[in-house]
Structure 1
Amino acid sequence: MQRQKAVKNVFELVQSDLKAKTFRTDYPVSEELRQVMVDEYIRDFMIYAIDEYYHDENLSILKELVDDLQPSKEKRQGLLDNLFWWHILYQSTRKPKLRCMDDYIAQKKHLLRVEPFISSWLKECNSAVPKFYYVGHKYNDRAFVAIDILAEETMDVVVYDPSAVPVKRGEFIAGTLLPLGGGLFFPIVDFYHFNYEAREAIACCIHHHYEKYLETSTLHEAFIHVLSVMLQIERIKSMENHNKTSSENPSI
């Protein structure tokens, strides 16, 4: 009897989201509504943001930053994609602000006037911060538990992009997670996946560097500083692994 009541309460919460005025990260959202949120609105917002801001001026700045970070050739585009969204979200916190999300919502006001839930959710997405995560339990290639390294909290993650690189349990990843309600999140673009052999070295020092940079930086700024250090560690470990392989196999 109690179980039936609990199920009924959850059902009512899910259904209420369709009529709600405010998005709440702790309230579950129906699968149908999640599909609308991701497939229609986030995809449309991404197209808008790319059309408006993915141009020569911003790209030149981001490409210089990628050059400084020195990722491997095959990971360069993935890093650039993540940094673009970091840039959009970071600039929205500064003065004067980059009003990308606000301008998008204003452009869609004729639709969002009758869908205040979506408008509230988009504003919540605009407050997302890129972070580092450790991959815990893995349900499948598109659903897993991520541990927020900074907050030390677990998060259920679903990946909608069919071309995204499947995560490995125990690896470190970096990216921007957006909320879907009910404690569920999804990445706006595929994560940056750190090399598996670097995970122990990253685990040993990532908290130290975060604490160091957060003393004088915002969360967005600290992310870039820590990312730079973690990429250096990844590069060093990759070189060590290459040298070890070469010494064991001189013919390579």
Structure 2
Amino acid sequence: MKAVKNNSVYFPDKEQEDLLGVLDEIFYFLIQHFAETIMEETEHIISRMNISDTLAERIFPQLVWWTTFCSPIGSEKITIFQHYLQLNKHRFENKGSFTQDVLVSWLSLNPGFYHVLECESESDRVFIFKDVFGGDTKIVRINQRIFLTPKRGEIITGLLIPMGNATYITQGGLFHIPEELAQKVLRKIIPYFKKHAISTDYDFNPQLYPSLAMITLNMMEKVYEK
């Protein structure tokens, strides 16, 4: 599916501004109530990777978001985001269908891998990414103040969060795979996904992301060692 330009990605409307506030709340919620769980989960994943501290620091933000939105925890086996929704259900019941639909879409998030196709704004904050597994293109706005600019030809991995109107944002620390390594990484992660996926739809396989990230990082570590 081809991405269609939409002014809301450049100038968020009131409902999207409210959703940005929800994302801030989720971050503070996980820090306040699940900081220890987050650290244990991410450290466990990183401990299985034979990578440098530098690469570990670079992938850490995406593992935090994966743990928050994708990894069931505790005896209830629900995600941190689901815990947040349960505690704040009363606040969202009277919200409009736009907000409710977006929040429901966040229940099926999964960090992905994307080709960087082009930049779509003078601010260098809006980009077109193409999903390496599904082939869909996405209009993405990078939301943090300081960030490494994606370059055409790179592959980016990280969590893209739907904001309605066919637009997405990122909340922090996209991981960049340089163009010279892109095809080598794809030749490893695509067959791994096909072999281990429980659904042909990438989004329904969040359990695979740590392994796909590990394959990617181990390949990059070998290059950096030379």
TM over 0.5: yes
Which amino acid in 2 is paired with 1:128? L
Specify the alignment match of 1:236 in structure 2: 222
Once the two structures are TM-superposed, the CA of residue 52 in structure 1 deviates from its matched residue by 1.5
Partners of 2:217 and 2:12 in 1: how far apart?
38
Specify the alignment match of 2:48 in structure 1: 68
Could you tell me which of 43, 59, 62 is aligned with 2:24?
43
Look up the SS of the partner of 2:120 in the other structure: strand
Pair 1:176-2:159 in alignment: yes
Pair 1:223-2:204 in alignment: no
Normalising by structure 1, we get a TM-score of 0.73
Alignment RMSD (CA, Å) = 3.0
Partners of 1:94 and 1:132 in 2: how far apart?
28
Could you tell me which of 185, 192, 202 is aligned with 1:202?
185
Look up the SS of the partner of 1:97 in the other structure: coil
Once the two structures are TM-superposed, the CA of residue 65 in structure 1 deviates from its matched residue by 1.8
Once the two structures are TM-superposed, the CA of residue 92 in structure 1 deviates from its matched residue by 3.8
Cα displacement string for residues 89-146 of structure 1 (whole angstroms, at most 9, x for unaligned residues): 2334998422533432343345323314334422221211111111111224311111
Specify the alignment match of 2:176 in structure 1: 193
Partners of 1:79 and 1:46 in 2: how far apart?
17
Pair 1:53-2:43 in alignment: no
Specify the alignment match of 2:133 in structure 1: 150
Listed as ranges, the gaps of 5+ residues in structure 1 are 1-9, 15-28, 244-252
Is this contact kept in 2: 1:105–1:119, CA < 8 A?
no
Cα displacement string for residues 32-86 of structure 1 (whole angstroms, at most 9, x for unaligned residues): 3222211x1111112112221121x441342132132244433322312211221
Could you tell me which of 12, 16, 27 is aligned with 1:34?
16
Cα displacement string for residues 147-172 of structure 1 (whole angstroms, at most 9, x for unaligned residues): 11111111111111112221111111
Specify the alignment match of 1:4 in structure 2: none
Alpha carbons of structure 1 residues 102 and 86: separation in structure 2 relative to 1, 3 Å: closer
| Identity between Structure 1 and Structure 2 (%) | 17
Once the two structures are TM-superposed, the CA of residue 189 in structure 1 deviates from its matched residue by 2.6
User: Which range is displaced more, 101-110 or 164-173?
Assistant: 101-110
Q: Which has the higher contact order (CA 8 A, sep 6+)?
A: 2
Cα displacement string for residues 178-232 of structure 1 (whole angstroms, at most 9, x for unaligned residues): 1111211112332122244322312333322211221699611222222211112
Could you tell me which of 43, 46, 67 is aligned with 1:87?
67
Alpha carbons of structure 1 residues 190 and 91: separation in structure 2 relative to 1, 3 Å: same
Look up the SS of the partner of 1:167 in the other structure: coil
Alpha carbons of structure 1 residues 94 and 155: separation in structure 2 relative to 1, 3 Å: farther
Aligned pairs for 1:91-106 (under 5 A) are 91-92=71-72, 96-106=76-86
Listed as ranges, the gaps of 5+ residues in structure 2 are 1-5
Specify the alignment match of 2:120 in structure 1: 139
Partners of 2:208 and 2:158 in 1: how far apart?
14
Look up the SS of the partner of 1:173 in the other structure: strand
Which amino acid in 2 is paired with 1:167? P
User: Which range is displaced more, 65-74 or 90-99?
Assistant: 90-99
Alpha carbons of structure 1 residues 237 and 197: separation in structure 2 relative to 1, 3 Å: farther
Partners of 1:236 and 1:216 in 2: how far apart?
31
Partners of 1:155 and 1:128 in 2: how far apart?
14
Partners of 1:65 and 1:166 in 2: how far apart?
27
Structure index of larger Rg: 1
Alpha carbons of structure 1 residues 212 and 136: separation in structure 2 relative to 1, 3 Å: same
Alpha carbons of structure 1 residues 53 and 226: separation in structure 2 relative to 1, 3 Å: same
Partners of 1:150 and 1:42 in 2: how far apart?
26
Look up the SS of the partner of 2:81 in the other structure: helix
Alpha carbons of structure 1 residues 80 and 212: separation in structure 2 relative to 1, 3 Å: same
